[in-house]
Amino acid sequence: MVVLKGIPSVLSPELLYTLAKMGHGDELGLNIPVLLEAILKLLPLDSYVESPAAVMDLVDSDKQRGVAVPVWDTYSRLLREAGCHKSLEKVERFAFYERAKKSYAIVATGESSLYGNLIITKGVLPADELC
């Protein structure tokens, strides 16, 4: 448990260290809204890419059945609240797996939402936001 002011308790010391070590363009794979909300309080998203947040697209059989993915609405809302107004990038299943393998870090959370995995890309802080 982190016992510092302003640091969400869901962020462990190890995860804070990982976030701090990440560079511009590094990706983090995660899969839980509570953790995403906490991370977005600290981690700037990349504004130089088409979308700094990617999810695994539905497989064809799920598209044909019209499977709904409500957690994507939650992710989109949290991203908007953090100032990101770009759409979630939908990545084909096996391409998503390959991209996740190349991520700077993977956070295993036990999230059970269908298609709940998410990859976010770190950006940089504007000079006027630096102390």
CA 40 to chain centre: 8
Choosing from 17, 24, 48, 73, which is the catalytic residue?
Answer: 24
128 is catalytic: no
* Structural contact between residues 61 and 93, judged by C-beta atoms closer than 8 angstroms: no
85 is catalytic: no
Choosing from 17, 26, 46, 104, which is the catalytic residue?
Answer: 46
* Structural contact between residues 122 and 25, judged by C-beta atoms closer than 8 angstroms: yes
Q: At a CB cut-off of 8 Å and minimum separation 6, what does 120 contact?
A: 27, 28, 30, 36, 39, 43, 45, 52, 53, 54
Choosing from 17, 48, 73, 97, which is the catalytic residue?
Answer: 97
24 is catalytic: yes
- Indicate which residues carry an active-site annotation: 24, 46, 97
